[in-house]
Structure 1
């Protein structure tokens, strides 16, 4: 029994890990996630490689195996829209599990006899999955809700396709998390009714269409140069620490590279899924603590204060701590890591060894060789008024970059040359006499 519980926990961990592995990859193909679990059992399915999108043919082949023999009762939870980012943002993966909007869903996957997770299923149309199940089961769908299902007599000797429609958040709703939480309550209620009726079932949770479509931009279409980030694209979601359901701290980095010595290889923590145990925030101080399963702990300490000279509040990244195997390396944000309190801070490169914005604060020989290198780094610890988006970013790069200075100086030099040449031309005078020096001089006799 203990072994069974352990395996279920492993499956749930794999479920979350797969979502984040695919969350880190981009694609131009519209896709929806699909979760499938059963009270009886499902045939095994090899975990897809990161970045792989399951095609409709592959799904058809698997459903043929799973639903090919004997009658089946299938519960299809069909949400209006669904993307894997919904699990990332509202699933409580980064923070407290009790704050997750999918508690009943996660519990159902964990306690089922077997489950299959497809984080990226090729989306070909709103009715594709429903038509596919109708074909495999040979029955028409029956639209039900929890109240109808509680009074419905289910004949297990024939196949049944029970359709439960779930809404998605729109501008009329207070928040997406609230809508998804209500949907999760419906899922839990329906599964409870099936358990009370002692009816074996296979459940599928997916979307009619993706809630977020990731578009891929060619290199020639991308803008070249520095840009300030107000909002990261819909295909990318930052790490968020919430307090009372509201975002308090947000962090995004393309790479969170660490190295424990100058000769060791870089380790990218951005590829792992952290928990936020130990994080806190209030009106004057914020601490974001990233706890990784590999044993690394990365902490960002920020504070804000009022500066009379500018007559406004500014926040600073005071320190970054890296802990591993009982050792702690501390790095101070010496210069440049600051922004108005209502802004975010962005920098293309933040490191501790070259043009360092982070200065080591340890005298311990074991930690003075530790190095940090954050690529495309953005953080905000105060004034998060835009929900899931960063506020306007204060960039670490000055407005006059080396390229701009070179262009200005070159233009100034050319202007000076032009002005000098123009001045020389204006100083030229034409001759007022045209004498022939070889001929006799001109004499004009005078008469008295």
Structure 2
């Protein structure tokens, strides 16, 4: 009876426990949630404490107990990406079950004989969970979907590992909620097929990798001031970092590093390649970042810093950028705007050599048709505090942008109109005599 009451309680609170645990869990360690449910019984597992991250060893020990005896049919719903935020944002965490993107998953957890929820499983690689199940079951994974599964004959006398891959939102065609709802429908169809075949199963729903990695930083470690552009957003391209004796020296990040060898040739984005940093160097006054790509292009960023008595501080400048290809070199000089205090990083939404150019081509070169266009560009050559974050960013956008100037001029024009109208009203004089309808009329003598 005690085991039955415990199992019933787990069925009633399984998905609710996911949300409460997900809200309370947070760490700098990459993690994915993992949900297990079965048409048979599962070994009991104490609910993890708030903030607890289940290690791979703990999961291995649990699966060893759960899959230790007899053949098993395992359904692995493996989504491209999955994190706790997907449940809290798109699930029914606030009581609105009809709007939840996980209705079939909730129903499966509540109707299963037993279920286990791991809100935060330590993530060690995209193939870790698949390799672990393959080892425990002694079976190779079989990639299926709802249609192929309905025509598949399942031999329950041996262990089976059925893999169902689920996509994640890319932002191109569907919203994340729509994609997750479609995935939930696939889960519902697969479970319906298994129920129709009357095959006992154990199911796992997890992700190949986290969709979001939220790092918690101690308040004492945070720098005072603006944190905008201080760290790269999770899921985006990692910054390029050059180290000297294990200490960070130069850091660069860009959404796109577009180069073109002529005005008619297409743009080539080098940011998607991992370059070699051979030839890079840095010291107290000069830094050189050399990015050599396997596609045959080389970018050189030369920076220097010096003390300016007027501002009584050190400033660093991006002196030049060189592009090499096929034995030819084009040099671009940073003549204006590419500078920042030495302890800051420099950021600009667009750094190019052809429109509002911050990089001016060197006319002495034969390759004057070569073009550069760096999008969301950020670089720091001095004063790096650690190997993960840029320092405070000095942005290339001036304070008085064209929009601000238009607003100021329009406000000034409206103020002048108001002052002129007020002055006109104040100059109006009233008549010293008025016409009384009960008395004699006022006669105005006519003069010839």
> Structure 1 length normalisation: TM-score?
0.53
| Cα 1:34/1:384, change in 2 over 3 Å | farther
Q: Provide closer, same or farther for how the CA distance between residues 101 and 446 of structure 1 changes in structure 2, counting only shifts above 3 A.
A: closer
Higher mean C-alpha deviation, range 36-45 or range 245-254:
36-45
Quick check: 306-315 or 351-360, which moved more?
A: 351-360
- Distance change in 2, residues 1:295/1:118 (3 Å): farther
> Structure 1 residues 253-262 or 230-239, which shifts more?
230-239
Q: Which moved more, 1:310-319 or 1:83-92?
A: 83-92
C-alpha contact (below 8 Å) 1:95/1:275 kept by paired residues: no
Cα deviation for residue 71 of structure 1 reads 13
Q: Distance in 2 between matches of 1:371 and 1:262?
A: 8
Counterpart residue number, 2:144: 144
Tell me how far apart the structure 2 counterparts of residues 121 and 50 of structure 1 sit (CA, whole Å).
13
1:411: Cα distance to partner? 1.0
- Show CA shifts across 1:123-175 (max 9, x none): 89999939962895279999999999999999999999999999999999999
Matched position secondary structure for 2:178: helix
Please tell me whether the aligned partners of residues 14 and 109 of structure 2 are also in contact (alpha carbons under 8 angstroms): no
Q: Distance in 2 between matches of 1:280 and 1:133?
A: 47
Tell me, what secondary structure is at the counterpart of 2:347? strand
Please tell me whether the aligned partners of residues 240 and 251 of structure 1 are also in contact (alpha carbons under 8 angstroms). Answer: yes
Match of 1:276 in 2: 277
Q: For residues 27 and 241 of structure 1, what CA distance do their matches in structure 2 show?
A: 27
Taking structure 1 as reference, are residues 422 and 215 closer, same or farther at Cα in structure 2, changes over 3 Å only? farther
Q: Distance in 2 between matches of 1:197 and 1:328?
A: 68
Q: Is the 8 A contact 1:12 1:106 kept in 2?
A: no
Q: 1:219 to 1:76 in 2, by over 3 A?
A: same
Query: Relative to structure 1, is the Cα distance of residues 265 and 90 closer, same or farther in structure 2, using a 3 angstrom cutoff?
Result: farther
Compare 336-345 and 424-433 and name the one that shifted more: 424-433
Residues 80 and 446 of structure 1: CA distance in aligned 2, closer, same or farther (over 3 Å): closer
- Deviation by residue 1:240-259 (Cα, 9 ceiling, x = unmatched): 11112121111111111111
Q: Tell me how far apart the structure 2 counterparts of residues 278 and 88 of structure 1 sit (CA, whole Å).
A: 47
- For structure 2, the residue ranges without an aligned partner over 5 or more in a row are none
Distance 1:154 1:334 in 2: 70
Structure 1 partner of 2:208 = 208
Structure 1 vs Structure 2 CA RMSD? 19.3
List alignment gaps of at least 5 residues for structure 1.
Answer: none
Cα shift readout 1:2-31 (whole Å, capped 9, x = no counterpart): 999999999999999999999999999997
Q: For the Cα contact (< 8 Å) 1:259–1:265, is it kept in 2?
A: yes
Residue 298 (structure 1) shift: 0.5
Distance change (3 Å), C-alpha of 1:153 and 1:315: farther
Q: For 2:145 and 2:443, how far apart are their aligned partners in 1?
A: 125
Would the alpha carbon gap of residues 90 and 337 (structure 1) be closer, same or farther in structure 2, given more than 3 Å must change?
farther
In structure 1, what is the equivalent of residue 331 of structure 2? 330
Q: Secondary structure at the match of 2:271?
A: helix
Change (3 A) 1:19 1:397: farther
Deviates more, 1:206-215 or 1:240-249: 206-215
For residues 305 and 334 of structure 2, what CA distance do their matches in structure 1 show? 14
Mean alpha-carbon deviation: is it higher for 186-195 or for 412-421? 186-195
Secondary structure at the aligned position of 1:180 is classed as: helix
How far does residue 320 in structure 1 lie from its aligned partner after superposition?
A: 0.3
Question: Are the structure 2 counterparts of residues 79 and 419 from structure 1 closer, same or farther at C-alpha, using a change threshold of 3 Å?
Answer: closer
Contact 2:261 2:371 in 1 (8 A): yes
SS in 2 for 1:270: coil
- Between the aligned partners of 1:234 and 1:168, the Cα distance in structure 2 is 16
Q: CA deviation at 1:432?
A: 1.3
Distance in 1 of aligned mates of 2:25 and 2:320: 30
TM-score using structure 2 length: 0.53
Tell me by how many angstroms 1:306 deviates: 0.3
Q: Distance in 2 between matches of 1:3 and 1:377?
A: 59
Identify the range of structure 1 (129-138 vs 144-153) with the bigger mean alpha-carbon deviation.
144-153
Distance 1:154 1:218, change over 3 A: same
Q: Is the 8 A contact 2:10 2:115 kept in 1?
A: no
Provide Cα deviations, 1:378-401, integer angstroms capped at 9, x if missing partner: 100000114311111111110111
More displaced 10-residue stretch of structure 1: 327-336 or 184-193: 184-193
What is the Cα deviation at residue 346 of structure 1? 0.7
Q: Which residue of 1 aligns with 2:81?
A: 81
SS in structure 1 of the partner of residue 89 of structure 2: helix
Aligned residues: 447
- Asked if structure 1 preserves the Cα contact closer than 8 Å seen for 2:39 and 2:202, the reply is yes
Conservation of the 8 A alpha-carbon contact between 2:211 and 2:235: no
Question: What's the CA shift for 1:271?
Answer: 1.4
